[in-house]
Structure 1
Amino acid sequence: MAFSKNSFGVFVLQIMVLALLSLHAEGQGLKVGFYEKSCPQAEKIVSTVMSDVMAVAPSLSGPLLRMHFHDCFIRGCDGSVLLDSPTRQSEKFSPPNLSLRGFNIIDKVKLALEKACPGVVSCADIVALVARDVTVATKGPYWEVETGRRDGKVSLFADPINRVTGLPPPFANITLLKQSFAMRGLNTKDLVVLSGGHTIGMSHCSSFENRLYNFTGKGDTDPSMDQNYIARLKLKCKPRDQTTLAELDPGSFKTFDDSYFRLVTKRRGLLESDAALLNDPETRAYLIQSISHGSTFFKDFGVSMVKMGRIGVLTGSQGEVRKVCTKTN
């Protein structure tokens, strides 16, 4: 992405201002076992519902994991991505979130929790717990989820697509990715570790179509992508295809493992943001380490997920605990 000197200066200034705000991964007020007294069966209830869901719909694991990321990166981990809007002006209807699935699963978990402990467990915490449980269900790592988040009351269509503070787009280069994570208190290691969640993800062909058909506007392909892989992708994804989904980790997208990193090192990362991990010494070194016998990816993923789960949280008397996740009280 090209910037003029003036626009780059404004870009940096906005980042500096944002860094002074409360979106950093601090998480005061969160703790493991927050509901131990108020709803002692909370995590068990979430786990039971998710076991049933994963048994019949394992393909929802990726979208439900990504939902936590999309929630935390916009306004912090406050459940704002779940809110409906009669005029379609909430985050849920913003372009980057149109591919999210599983909102009905969050509602299902909430319903079960409301029956056991009315008005106690927040929707923001449900999203965090579900992200952990779908990871475990796909043979990924287990980590202790800090809870105690409260639900936000604001959700704006424009936030996820804000040029500076929005969700990092699939065409983001390594510089933009590092800046996006840094402004939220996450470092370069968190960036590459959390990118590993793509091992159970899928993407619409439209998110990487330019890499196959028109990378520089001249009808060419992306030279940084393996040409044999491009040929295979073209069989699945035709020009202007807005509906077809492709696996981010072909052959292993229902299993949480390190094969995503192997693909990226072979220049088979599906998105430009995946391929960008090869363009930084620290992220590239982690990719190589993660496909070696000394990999710490599973442990690191849990650590980075906890850290991400602290971004901009509402606790104490802030926000509310919604009765229904799709609307404020």
Structure 2
Amino acid sequence: MNLEILSPVSTRNKKAATIQRMDVDEENIHVVNPGEIVTTDQKFMRGHGTYTDGESTVYASVAGTVDRVNQLLSVKPLKARYTPEIGDIVVGRITEVSLKRWKVDVNSRQDANLLLSSVSLPGGVQRRKNEADELQMRQFFSEGDMLVAEVQAFYNDGTMGLHTRGFKFCKLRNGSLVSVPAVLVQRCKSQFHSLPCGVDVILGLNGYIWVHKKFEGMQTEDADLTVSYSNENDKITEDERQEIARVCNCISALAKQYMHINDTIIVYTYEASLEYTVKDLLKLDVIASITTAASMRMRAN
């Protein structure tokens, strides 16, 4: 029994439209459904999320956006678990403290491992970790703590290994977590951004975004590492709380409209939201208004 999923669009029209998108308007991101034709051009190779019928026609096997790298075409699913790559900046939550390692929820298929040997501890970055450090692991990270880390390696069972070496990688505080689909977070030159409104944003490529007030005493590599493991929030004023909440609602609005998220679009959405109260940013009509205004500014620039 052969099962063929047909596109709701006419095949002939779909072929013409697809070829035109690939050859003429390559920068336009478009969404395809399972069974839709991605391209009929023989010069393209098929990647993940696609299949062929034995000929040159490439079909989409998942619902997602078409991604092209040179002559390789793939379809990125609209909703999927985060697929890590070495060097990714991720935001995670400690779920378990075990022997010489922490288990970290990073919105992936399985928890990541953060080894005791992969963190910088007070007293020197290069010093050896001893039994005393193992007994004090919960003083550094305990269950429920948020942290920002970098993907360092992969193990045989598919688990990813993280590291927190460097003054930017630390325990997170002074802010709020926003969870969005991982495919919406764009890769930037840096995932750490300071917005003009005085709020800092960490765009985790795993879909976890941390919005916070700037950490005090952690701006340089010579900063005291004990500050990195502090559980106490710095003093946050009412105005700073309002700004953090506004930025969080702006990011949630972008995710609800399924728009790509980067520091520029967040700033544009924030500026468009200033005529509304923070609570009003949860309304659907306001969400549509501010995201449309931000999208128009992005196209204009």
* Superposition TM-score tier, normalisation by shorter sequence: under 0.3
Bigger Cα Rg: 2
**Higher relative contact order (Cα pairs below 8 Å, separated by 6+ residues):** 1
Using the size of structure 2 for normalisation, the TM-score is 0.26
Would you tell me which structure has more helix in proportion to its own residues? 1
Would you tell me which structure has more strand in proportion to its own residues? 2
